[in-house]
């Protein structure tokens, strides 16, 4: 069975999670992940430092910039035939989506391919344990003399995509002010893929506290944000992973996540 994935590390982790659970249920079935570079923006595999060698992972370089001929009649006919074929394969369960728990139950022994986003499916405790182990993360004792606040402020492609919008800086600043109220010493670290823009937006929105902005590898953002005293996330699946990992470790109330419905939060089960 091939599990197809489009998107960055957040999406890739959801694909890895469903691969993990399927491998547990069907240990004799060959399961592989196919990471596509195609989409609105070019995305490459970021699972090298997460998945162990027992997982079969390949990258399909199918990214193509939007062309002027995209809506030609020939292309429309081909896409329509592909649509009909896909409908048939989904109806016969040769292809499944796996996006939700209900979708996961529809996967059959003869299913050859999963093509979905997978992120509304409940993540199993065994995958959380696996992920924490591979990331090298252990439960961390809080330092009462120093309050650590981390902000994951995704901007990047959201700055130029009209169909998506990044979270207004005012919402982040308001939440920082609430967390910082009454605390004598607070260290604020903002992680962003657009550090200069993030810094300017936060200052313009009225952030008075001192803060630093860091641009590091996405996997490092997850590692560094899990153990902080309070975490503020935005509309990124990476932020959702950080919150759910923190909840799994018992940090249930020390999070603020903008842009996601609460039903996507995993229960604290550690």
How far apart are the C-alpha atoms of 98 and 155, rounded to whole Å? 28
Mean pLDDT of 239-258: 94
Name the H helices within 36-142.
Answer: 73-91, 101-105, 125-135
Q: Which fold has domain 147-264?
A: Rossmann fold (3.40.50)
Count Cβ neighbours within 10 Å for each residue of 200-222 and write b for 16 or more, e otherwise: ebbeeeebeeebebeeeebbebb
- The chain-wide mean pLDDT, for the chain, equals 87
Residue 165 has pLDDT above 80, yes or no: no
Mean pLDDT of 223-240: 95
Looking at the chain, the whole-number percentage of residues with pLDDT higher than 70 is 87
More confidently predicted of 156 and 131: 131
Residue 158, C-beta contacts closer than 8 angstroms, at least 6 positions apart:
164, 165, 166, 235
Mean pLDDT of 259-264: 82
Residue 115, C-beta contacts closer than 8 angstroms, at least 6 positions apart:
4, 95, 96, 97
Name the H helices within 97-236.
Answer: 101-105, 125-135, 169-180, 195-204, 218-226
Torsion over CA: 236, 240, 241, 246 (sign): positive
Q: What are phi and psi of 115, to 5 degrees?
A: -135, 95
- What per-residue confidence (pLDDT) applies to 270? 63
More confidently predicted of 19 and 77: 19
Q: pLDDT digits over 59-113, tens only?
A: 998 877 655 445 556 666 677 777 888 888 889 999 999 999 999 999 999 999 9
Q: Pairing mode, if any, of strands 32-36 and 56-60?
A: parallel
pTM of the model: 0.88
- What per-residue confidence (pLDDT) applies to 163? 46
Domain ranges of the chain: 2-122, 147-264
Contact 85, 95 (CB under 8 A): no
- What per-residue confidence (pLDDT) applies to 162? 47
- What per-residue confidence (pLDDT) applies to 189? 98
- What per-residue confidence (pLDDT) applies to 248? 95
Residue 45 has pLDDT above 80, yes or no: yes
């Amino acid at each position: 069975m091939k599990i197809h994935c489009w998107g960055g590390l957040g999406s890739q982790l959801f694909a890895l999670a469903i691969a993990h659970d399927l491998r547990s249920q069907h240990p004799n079935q060959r399961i592989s992940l196919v990471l596509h570079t195609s989409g609105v923006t070019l995305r490459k595999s970021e699972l090298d430092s997460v998945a162990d060698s027992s997982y079969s992972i390949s990258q399909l370089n199918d990214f193509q910039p939007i062309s002027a001929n995209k809506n030609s009649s020939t292309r429309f006919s081909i896409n329509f035939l592909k649509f009909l074929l896909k409908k048939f394969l989904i109806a016969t369960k040769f292809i499944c989506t796996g996006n939700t728990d209900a979708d996961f139950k529809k996967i059959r022994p003869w299913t050859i391919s999963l093509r979905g986003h997978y992120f509304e499916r409940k993540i199993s405790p065994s995958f959380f344990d696996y992920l924490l182990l591979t990331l090298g993360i252990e439960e961390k004792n809080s330092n009462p003399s120093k309050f650590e606040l981390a902000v994951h402020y995704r901007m990047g492609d959201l700055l130029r995509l009209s169909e998506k919008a990044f979270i207004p800086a005012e919402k982040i600043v308001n939440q920082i002010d609430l967390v910082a109220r009454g605390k004598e010493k607070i260290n604020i670290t903002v992680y962003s893929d657009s550090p200069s823009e993030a810094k300017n937006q936060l200052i313009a929105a009225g952030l008075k506290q001192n803060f630093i902005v860091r641009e590091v590898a996405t996997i490092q953002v997850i590692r560094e944000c899990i153990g902080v005293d309070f975490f503020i996330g935005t509309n990124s699946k990476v932020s959702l992973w950080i919150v759910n990992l923190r909840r799994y470790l018992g940090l249930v109330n020390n999070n603020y996540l903008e842009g996601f419905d609460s039903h996507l939060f995993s229960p604290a089960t550690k």
